[in-house]
Amino acid sequence: MHGPPPSEPGKGYTLLGPDRVPRGSEVPGTLGGHRPGRIYGRLDCPSALRAIARGGYVRNRVFFADEETAVAAGYRPCSVCMPAEYAAWKANRT
């Protein structure tokens, strides 16, 4: 599973950086995200997979190398597949 066509020649995957700029990568991302909701989660997230099965979500899907990058890009954890991370995020909101 990978993102849109690579943004750099010779790179097989496109990952979003902390500055929200897509970059080519030779390795796939470890987390997926939804651009409009600014949510990130596991690639096997049941909620995301249901949305994809219904025909939605894919057009706005992004991928991240790791959680640190997703957070730096302004995304929050998914409450379905990352409940502990979501609880911590929610508790620390200002």
Tell me how far CA of residue 46 lies from CA of 52, 79, 81, in angstroms.
Answer: 10, 11, 7
pLDDT in tens, 63-81: 999 999 999 999 999 999 9
pLDDT in tens, 31-64: 999 999 999 999 999 999 998 899 878 889 999 9
pLDDT in tens, 4-27: 444 445 567 889 999 999 999 998
